[in-house]
Amino acid sequence: MYNLDYTVTEDDYLTFNRCHLKTTKAGRRAILTYRLLVPALLVCIMLLSTIGGGDVVPLLTIEAVVFGLTSLLWALLAPRIYFRSLRRGINRMKKDGRLPFNPQGTFVFSEDGFEDHGPLSTVTTSYQAIEKVVEAPAADYLYVSAAQAFIVKTDLFADAAAHQQFIDFITARLKPGTPVVKA
């Protein structure tokens, strides 16, 4: 049995989102869509400008170079821009007093399941409800749906051996076939 008092910060939540985008199919698809959005729009603009007719070869050459460079920059900077907007969204939610996570609480892991005792509520979850476990350097994420996970930070454990015992404890209680992924 484990009793773990935790504190989750905005940075921990952002780290979870970054890990989620890298380790899930839906997350990778979202980042790819975000990366391709601006280049697709620029191609549409370029195609529409050719409809105008006339001597468009010099104009198309200039547009192709400018749009190509813009698309390349966007594709490279899109993840950074995406996470910056996510951070701003979290700051807005914090200012409004409605964070999407419990900033403090206690996890109680027993033989049958675990409880998350937060400041306003207690959530009880069976190990059978865990769909996936992701082991990342800073935390373990116990997914109970495609986009919702409990964040168990690795600094809650005395050392790497204690953390590994916890992972073994959890994985022994999962339903067969539940993936355990290292991020």
* Same domain assignment for residues 77 and 123: no
pLDDT for the residue 56:
64
**Position 111, amino acid:** E
* Same domain assignment for residues 91 and 42: yes
Domain limit, last residue, from 81, 96, 111: 96
**Type and span of the H or E element at 141:** strand 139-143
**Type and span of the H or E element at 150:** strand 149-153
Q: Which residues contact 122 (CB under 8 A, 6 or more apart)?
A: 115, 116
Rounded average pLDDT per 10-residue block, the chain, 183 residues: 92 90 85 87 80 67 85 88 88 86 92 91 93 93 90 94 94 92 87
pLDDT for the residue 62:
82
Range of the domain at 163: 2-8+101-182
pLDDT for the residue 26:
84
Q: Name the 3-class secondary structure at 113.
A: strand
For β-strands 132-135 and 180-182, DSSP reports them as parallel
* Same domain assignment for residues 88 and 109: no
* Same domain assignment for residues 17 and 68: yes
Q: In this structure, which long-range contacts are made by residues 95-103, counting pairs with CB atoms below 8 Å and at least 24 apart in sequence?
A: 99/13, 100/13, 101/8, 101/13, 101/151, 102/8, 103/7, 103/8, 103/9
* Same domain assignment for residues 106 and 158: yes
* Same domain assignment for residues 86 and 134: no
Which CATH number does the domain housing residue 164 bear? Answer: 2.30.29.30
Give the chain's domain count: 2
Eight-class DSSP state of 149: E
pLDDT for the residue 157:
94
* Same domain assignment for residues 65 and 112: no
* Same domain assignment for residues 46 and 79: yes
Gap between the Cα atoms of 38 and 77, Å rounded: 12
Domain limit, last residue, from 70, 96, 122: 96
Domain limit, last residue, from 96, 111, 145: 96
Q: Per residue in 122-143, pLDDT tens?
A: 999 999 999 999 999 999 999 9
pLDDT for the residue 97:
82
* Same domain assignment for residues 105 and 166: yes
Are the C-beta atoms of 10 and 91 separated by less than 8 Å?
yes
* Same domain assignment for residues 121 and 62: no
* Same domain assignment for residues 83 and 124: no
* Same domain assignment for residues 140 and 88: no
